[in-house]
Amino acid sequence: MRSKMHNDVPDTVDLSVFKSLAPYLMEYKWRISLALSFLILAKVATVYLPFVLKNIVDDLNSTQQMLAAPLALIFAYGGLRLASVLLGELRDTLFGRVTERAMRRIGLKAFNHLHNLDLDYHLNRQTGGVAREMERGTTGISFVMRFMVFNIVPIMIELCFVIGILFINYGYSFALIIASAVVAYVSFSIKATQWRTGFIREANAADSSSNTRAIDSLINYETVKYFGNEQYESDAYDKQLAAWEKARRKNRLSLFALNGGQALIIAIAMTSMMGLAAYNVSRGVMTLGDFVLINAFTMQIFMPLNFLGFVYREIRASLANIEKMFGLLDRKSTVVDQDNAKELTINDGNVHFNQIYFAYDDKRPIIKGINFSIKRGQKVAVVGASGSGKSTLVKLLYRFYDVNNGKITIDDQDISQVTQHSLRQGIGIVPQDTVLFNSTLIENIRYGRPTASDEEIHQAIKLAHLSDFIQSLPDKENTMVGERGLKLSGGEKQRVAIARTILKQPHVLVFDEATSSLDSYSEQQIMAAINEVAANNTSLVIAHRLSTIVDADNIIVMNNGIISEQGTHQALLTLDGEYAQLWRLQQSEQS
């Protein structure tokens, strides 16, 4: 249940949007020129139609005329009407390609731009709202081009022709009535549309809110089921829909007032034109053909104007939506490549965190002078309480955020000086929460390296200890995993993540609490796969369960953003500090 007219309507029309659109439209200059030529020819044919109609009526009204003359005019009338329609269709066909290509290019640019924005933007965005903005923006381009170029501009051209013709052929009276009526109609439509803006905005806000609520609820389907809150979600959604219904009712009533006012102006204008024409015919000043011509011109002008209120509001809304999308394209990421950024070259994969300071918010520092190294073939683990900054280290290594002070290097290359793409290509991760695409198992694994061969994928499946599980499935590797991998267990998703990482063949591996939510049996299987993958590679492990890192070359204990202890498992137990206390606590929980 959605309103078709769901765009936000601005208070003013920002014509600078056309400047932003111009580069995308100019790709087909010859098509635009040809389409505009057909537009003008179609309008000339349309304006000439009433003259042919006048001559037909006058000839039929004259007893002296031969039948052949009216028949010729009737065929001419049919030919002109056909030409008008065909020229209009050719115009639409030619210009359609221009609009569609612009929509495609801008839509793709917006999609790519969203992927290039920093993590902070995506943590704060609302998926439903952003998707709707992209949809409205691209749809707005189509609407503006179709109605501005093929409705507003042709109406203005035709209006100038008609007023000029009426003034030259029939004096100022008819021209003045038409001109006054058009001015009154346009003025009323603009004022009434601006009055309706508040109601439309209210309906749009309710529409977006209900849409976002529905998407958010469906994305969190599992959470809803865990807590049995289906009715709560239904009631909350219905509350949003009730607000939408109320806003739409106000919108509909205001639309009635707009349409009623427009109809009144048209009725007065047409009655005045017909009355004046009839009076002139009765006086013998005009013929019946002139009467028909006046009627035809009046109908031709006011029929398209009937849609002016709708078109004006929708064009304003579309321009605003296009402007919003260009505003999204103008949004800058806080993490960008340097102008002279080079490709990261990894030979050994030595990683060094050198006096790192970082804060998401200046008032709350997260990392306070962290300094440690991971050499090739080493496994370094980071442990600590929640909020100590463990996972932030992973985000900084991936350069989802830039450090405030210090630097992170890989093989002595500052990661802030290399391209983000090459950096992330060299790192593989098995995250705590593996999110899969709603596709098949094999396609989710192939995502690690889309160009990989089937043989390489099956080798990765084998190394990730996924073979037995896949063989047990009816559709084998072609099994659909569901949205976000809903059909797989936590351990199964983790093994898919490991297979992806194996397929990627990175030099630096990151395991972000990869087994924290698994049972002991699944943990053993995952750890076996992890150890195989990590052999001879640089490994950074963010750990919750200390039993998984007893073989680490170095264990770093973090507390409130600093390193409080570090050493091997045995050395830290001998130290009898925070790590030893945490170890005893976990051992007692397992016993």
**H or E element at residue 557:** strand 554-559
What is the Cα–Cα distance from 295 to 38, expressed in whole angstroms?
Answer: 26
Which tokens belong to 243? 């607000």
For residue 560, which amino acid is it?
N
**CA angle centred on 365, ends 362 and 368, rounded to 5°:** 135
Burial annotation 126-157 (CB, 10 A radius, 16+ → b, else e): eebebebbbebbbbbbebbbbbebbbbebbeb
What local confidence, expressed as pLDDT, does residue 6 receive?
A: 42
Specify the pLDDT at position 483: 66
d(CA 447, CA 442): 9
Which residues fall within 8 angstroms of residue 11, CB to CB, at 6 or more apart? 194, 197
Does residue 485 come out as left (phi exceeding 0), alpha (psi in the -120 to 50 range) or beta? left
SS3 513: coil
For residues 473 and 479, the answer to whether their CB atoms sit within 8 Å is: yes
pLDDT at residue number 1: 37
The three state secondary structure string of 134-161 is HHHHHHHHHHHHHHHHHHHHHHHHHHHH
> Environment class of residue 338 by beta-carbon count within 10 Å: exposed (0-12), middle (13-18) or buried (19+)?
exposed
Q: Tens of pLDDT along the chain (591 residues)?
A: 333 344 444 555 555 666 767 777 777 777 777 877 777 787 777 777 777 767 777 666 665 555 555 566 667 667 777 877 787 777 777 777 777 777 778 778 777 777 777 666 666 665 556 666 777 777 777 777 777 766 677 777 778 888 888 888 888 888 898 889 888 988 888 888 778 777 777 777 788 788 888 888 887 877 777 777 788 888 888 888 888 888 888 888 888 888 888 888 888 888 888 888 888 888 888 888 888 888 888 877 777 776 666 677 677 777 777 777 777 777 777 778 788 888 888 888 899 999 999 888 777 888 888 899 999 888 899 988 877 888 888 889 988 888 889 999 999 899 889 988 888 888 888 887 777 888 888 888 888 888 888 888 888 888 877 888 888 888 887 888 776 666 777 777 888 888 888 888 888 888 887 666 556 666 676 677 777 777 778 889 888 888 888 888 899 998 888 888 899 989 989 888 888 888 888 888 665
* Largest pairwise CA distance in the chain: 124
In whole angstroms, give the CA distance from residue 230 to residue 161: 62
Per-residue model confidence (pLDDT) at position 352: 93
CB 263 within 8 A of CB 188: no
Can you tell me the distance from the alpha carbon of 572 to that of 578, in angstroms, rounded to the nearest whole number?
Answer: 9
Helix, strand and coil percent figures for the chain, each rounded to 5: 65, 10, 25
Query: Which CATH code for domain 16-330?
Result: 1.20.1560.10
pLDDT at 366: 86
The three-point CA angle 60-63-67 to 5° equals 55
Three-state helix/strand/coil letters over 1-44: CCCCCCCCCCCCCCCHHHHHHHHHHHHHHHHHHHHHHHHHHHHH
Distance of alpha carbon 75 from the chain centroid: 51
Per-domain boundaries in the chain: 16-330, 441-504
Cβ-count burial of 394 within 10 angstroms (0-12 exposed, 13-18 middle, 19+ buried)?
Answer: buried
What gap in Å lies between CA 89 and CA 35, rounded to an integer? 10
pLDDT score recorded for residue 129: 60
Label the pairing between strands 538-542 and 379-384: parallel
Strands of 391-441 (E only): list them.
Answer: 405-410, 413-414, 427-430
Quote the CA–CA distance of 337 and 482 in Å, as a whole number.
35
Whether 235 contacts 40, CB under 8 Å: no
